[in-house]
Chains A and B, each alone.
Chain A
């Protein structure tokens, strides 16, 4: 018995081609001189997947259709000398086609062996994406009406360096050995017939298993080969351009907390809490201006929070920031009725119209280009956009408010701007 098997009796139906896939896999591994613990066999759901208990390799039995993704994770996590093999059926390959294409595109170091018996065997003989036209299944007794996927062509198109299709008869271990030798993604599609459903539903094919050998039919080779040819399943070995297998390298990275402290160099007259909403348009620096205000507030010895709101299309429409400044720690950072509402564009006005309408007090700072909305707030109109340009209207608006109220010293804000990336391009103190 092979050192790769701990039990020679395989758990498959008599005559099932899965026997031959196991025998040929074992022969290929022996030809490679591999050791069982250098091999991880990942099996999908399906009859092929109950073979784990026979293998002396590491074995992983996962979900239906997901085994290639699971195996990709294993291969990406192991050193290159380990061989990761996937056993998957035509049903699993149909479910997990994207996983197969993705692993091929990435060139993950895997050998995928597709047990293509042209239908879902374990669940009762339903057609899969690899069922060929005209093939009869339990659900399509008149013959399957659609064409099948061409897996080798798909994976080669996706970038696999190796793909093969073999008729599952006799010794095809050399093709499996070639696949296992590839450093990167390799797929071998093995054509078989399900002795329970495929043979039964397609009696005209003469694929009855041989009573003595249990393998194929009395003379199955020509018939299975013929069926493969008739249905467009041409056997072959194909190679694509070789490239390094994908292996994520471990990186050295820097702490995310290596950020400069915002030291309290200024002071603020704020005794309690102030809430401010800054509403403008995407691309006009609203979020950055709000963040700089929060930093300036910290530099003035206050606690600060800043939230952002914008539509899912980040680059267009409104952009709104909610800021809370406080003398004492802030636990709740929501803003319902703001003390200060700053609107620098029509998008911002539209976004905050309801809240502006509900303001019973506070101050509304409004760009001069905008219509004055209904509100209980005191309205102050300033030409933010005209003075600083649309791109800097939000920044200028906050500076204007700080100059008028002193809640945070304007110098703290100007310093925050100067120390930020935009400080190299603009000097708001000139406004």
Chain B
């Protein structure tokens, strides 16, 4: 029982990170129906910016988090403007291939400059390493901070999407881009803003994962990126609450599988979930089946 509770705590920390990445996927998909394969690599860049700002600039954890978010925000907008915007009217396959190209480009340019070696995050302030024992369960302050920061960011996102003008514009464009344009919404800027928000969250996730696992490498974005996408599909792609539920579900499942069976199987289980979802409920947990129109 204690072990289960312990695994759940670990799963929630990991799930928070997946949920942050999944939010970016789901928002971008919601607004331009693109699986942004480069999203996982934006998260990787975020982890490296956090590393550089802590190890080289000597900034604190939260300043580094903010710096990583701002850098990724800019990166996300640049990717959108340079690679995706010229393809607004192309086939979906063309945009998808471009996204894969951008993803590879980020990975290997990073590999070229920092090398393939794994780096470990600089030592954290003491309060990160505190531990509380509740019953037989050990809760580390690190996990609590990761969950806390993620939840705060998600609340902030929810506020932006639901209460601000630009959030309203995002929702309008995702419902019907043409109609939104007719209502005087600047669709291009709204799409860029969506990329900015999603990429900032991915950057935050990158720093948090550096804190959580303590190691980063240039190809670290591939797997979490794919898993976060699975999370988004699981919850219902395009839906913000779906990404949250999916992220936590995938995180907890993965931790339980590696805790009780084998860590080698965790990736296979996540993709098996994906295929099962696609077979039985392709619209995802919260999604509704929409009839397609000609």
Q: Do A and B bind each other?
A: no
A residues in contact (CB < 8 Å) with B: none
